[in-house]
């Protein structure tokens, strides 16, 4: 037995020395240590040779096991990075994410079997949260995963000067007209990759630090730390949120109590907003309104008091589909003859012989749609839908009263 054991050890040493010499030639060893292969994708042939010869000769070398394990862990880590990279470009289905991983890491990144591949992808999603602390969610209606927060390791780290530049762009390109829509998309993408503290600081940075002649119309009121953390946590965890909200539009200056299903927190025109389904509205006199309405709240109008809380209730995702309102308007020839911006979903443009253009699309935000169309001035006429036209007439009549016109 002792002679047989010695023979196996000698055979192991000879084969290992032979492979080690080959690997030195192809650059897989450096200073006595294994080096990850530099192939563009897939598993390096040197590793395949190593494992194959190991099987032929019937021995297992400890160094080779470690090297194989490290290789597997490295590929797994690359898969997780590839998923995060794809999510940073926008929502994606499971198949789209797997395809992105294979394209970036290599054809052997995932097991070939469907069941094994799905299991590996499931574990990669868990690793994305555990290893990189990224936050993402799944939308059952679209079967897409979407990124909420890339995590502390993949956020943008901008200088104070660059943060001021983002703030300036956000204010100066807030009307979304023409090519400005692309800049707004860029700003939104940058904002999504900033740390929570940097995002929040953009709303109340001192305007005196911007030495350019631009509109300085952003509210300087700060968002309380507890309000920011509570709203963001409720949104990420899909839990019911309650708070009191004090808007300048309330005449008696008494706060209103709300219970909501938070959907997203977003930055627009220099302010932070919460998009949510309103579950309960209770005025200062105790009257309840339980009609579910899709609304938005400015975060610095949410009060930091005992009413601000996250409920244990976990809400379905998505809670409900956002409303869809028809947007139908006519652009007069002086505008319609030029390039027409696609402000709304499913925008369809019909050009007329006189140079005017008829535009149809959809929105989930009547207030914002009305604001955008008002920016066209007298060059735009709202034709429908019913809800948008009613809102536009309300605003126009208000302006007529303000200017004391008959």
Q: What is the DSSP letter of 301?
A: G
Domain boundaries, the chain: 2-60, 73-149, 160-209, 225-314, 325-402
Q: In CATH terms, is domain 73-149 a member of 1.10.10.1200?
A: yes
Judge if pTM exceeds 0.85.
no
Q: What is the pLDDT of residue 29?
A: 42
Which has the closest alpha carbon to 295: 272, 270, 322?
322
Query: Please, which residues bridge with residue 34 across strands?
Result: 29
In whole angstroms, what is the distance from residue 301 CA to residue 217 CA? 17
Residue 25 scores a pLDDT above 50: no
Average pLDDT of the residues in 118-129? 94
Q: What is the pLDDT of residue 5?
A: 54
Residue 303 scores a pLDDT above 70: yes
Residue 316 scores a pLDDT above 80: yes
Show the tokens assigned to 160: 């104070």
Residue 44 scores a pLDDT above 50: no
CB 240 within 8 A of CB 251: no
CB 362 within 8 A of CB 324: yes
Indicate the pLDDT class of residue 30, thresholds 50, 70 and 90.
very low
pLDDT in tens, 68-122: 556 778 889 999 999 999 998 889 999 999 999 999 999 989 998 889 999 999 9
Indicate the pLDDT class of residue 211, thresholds 50, 70 and 90.
very low
C-alpha distances in angstroms, 94 versus 125, 137, 215, 236? 10, 12, 44, 20
Average pLDDT of the residues in 327-336? 95
Place of tokens 């494992």: 51
Percent of the chain with pLDDT over 90: 41
Residue 369 scores a pLDDT above 70: yes
C-alpha distances in angstroms, 6 versus 9, 11, 50? 5, 9, 22
- The HSE-up count of residue 9 (CA atoms within 13 Å, CB side) is 6
C-alpha distances in angstroms, 167 versus 117, 177, 207, 327, 399? 43, 18, 10, 30, 30
Show the tokens assigned to 101: 């991983």
Q: What is the CB neighbour count within 10 angstroms for residue 53?
A: 15
The alpha-helical segments, DSSP class H, found in 138-215 are 160-172, 180-192, 196-204
Q: In CATH terms, is domain 325-402 a member of 3.30.70?
A: yes
In whole angstroms, what is the distance from residue 73 CA to residue 67 CA? 10
Indicate the pLDDT class of residue 196, thresholds 50, 70 and 90.
confident
Q: What is the pLDDT of residue 172?
A: 60
Residue 18 scores a pLDDT above 60: no
């Amino acid at each position: 037995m002792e002679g047989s054991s010695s023979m196996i050890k000698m055979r192991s040493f000879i084969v290992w020395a032979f492979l080690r010499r080959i690997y030195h030639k192809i650059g897989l060893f450096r200073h006595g240590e294994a080096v990850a292969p530099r192939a563009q994708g897939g598993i390096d042939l040197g590793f395949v040779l190593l494992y194959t010869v190991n099987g032929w000769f019937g021995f297992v070398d400890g160094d080779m096991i470690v090297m194989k394990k490290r290789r597997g862990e490295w590929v797994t880590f690359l898969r997780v990075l590839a998923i995060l990279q794809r999510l940073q470009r926008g929502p994606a289905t499971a198949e789209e994410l797997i395809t992105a991983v294979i394209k970036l890491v290599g054809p052997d990144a995932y097991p070939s079997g469907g069941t094994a591949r799905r299991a590996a992808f499931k574990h990669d999603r868990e690793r994305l949260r555990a290893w990189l602390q990224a936050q993402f969610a799944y939308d059952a209606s679209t079967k897409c995963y979407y990124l909420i927060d890339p995590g502390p390791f993949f956020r943008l780290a901008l200088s104070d000067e660059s943060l001021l530049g983002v703030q300036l762009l956000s204010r100066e390109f807030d009307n979304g007209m023409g090519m400005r829509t692309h800049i707004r998309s860029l700003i939104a993408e940058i904002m999504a990759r900033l740390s929570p503290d940097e995002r929040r600081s953009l709303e109340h940075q001192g305007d005196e630090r911007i030495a350019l002649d631009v509109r300085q119309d952003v509210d300087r009121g700060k968002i309380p730390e507890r309000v920011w953390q509570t709203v963001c946590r409720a949104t990420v965890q899909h839990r019911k949120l309650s708070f009191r909200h004090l808007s300048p539009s309330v005449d008696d200056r008494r706060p209103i109590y709300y219970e909501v299903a938070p959907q997203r927190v977003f930055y627009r025109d220099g302010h932070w907003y919460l998009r949510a389904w309103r579950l309960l509205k209770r005025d200062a006199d105790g009257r309840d309104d339980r009609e579910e309405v899709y609304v938005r709240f400015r975060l610095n109008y949410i009060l930091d008091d005992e009413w601000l809380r996250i409920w244990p209730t976990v809400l379905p995702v998505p809670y409900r589909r956002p409303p869809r309102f028809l947007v139908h308007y006519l652009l007069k020839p002086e505008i319609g003859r030029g390039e027409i911006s696609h402000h709304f979903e499913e925008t369809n443009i019909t050009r007329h012989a006189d140079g005017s253009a008829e535009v149809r699309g959809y929105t989930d935000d009547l207030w914002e749609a009305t604001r955008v169309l008002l920016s066209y001035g007298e060059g735009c006429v709202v034709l429908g839908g019913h809800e948008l036209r009613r809102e536009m007439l309300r605003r126009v009549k208000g302006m007529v009263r303000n200017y004391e016109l008959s």
